[in-house]
Structure 1
């Protein structure tokens, strides 16, 4: 056998694709949308959630819109302070009645 080189460590081989077969993506079949039936009709839960979300969004928007008018931070703070004072007064009244005063 006549070798063109004297190097004994040379190995002959062929070039192959180095992409592992496990890395090849196989597309999964599309899953049906759980919010709709096969005929495209939305489920009751989907419709209920959508209505509830719209309702709560409208309540939040009304609250935020009201803050710019008569419901300023100062008036809200005053209402909270008045409510706290009324609660303290009521608690003192209950304690007096329990002591028999």
Structure 2
């Protein structure tokens, strides 16, 4: 959690223009964030906005706080950015699992599924052991063994009678 609070603190320290550049870079190529990207482009004056068109004639001229400080990033190789480095989670590496055994997307983690299976297996095995220790459980085991013994004896008699029929 401290990693995200550190990122939040660094983002909060950025100026509006710097934050706009960072958010544009973060939302580039993500179709789910098209509305955010469109709003950011509009804020930065990029996109379908025609320069020189006065949308609201009563709007005052931009003040000192609205002007871009520094040259900004030109998009060319070697251009320096005034935006401090913000750690970004590498693509392809899943986020740390959220508490409760589910990922941030709501998918159960492998560890939580394994724990549930092991718990259910242990419960079933323990219930079987406890069941065999009761009088009813012992009686069922004795009945099973008696049936198995009777089945083996019957199979042996059938085999013997088959062998007796083979000799002329």
- TM-score with structure 2 setting the length: 0.30
Larger relative CO (CA 8 A, sep 6+): 1 or 2?
Answer: 2
Normalized against structure 1, the TM-score is what? 0.44
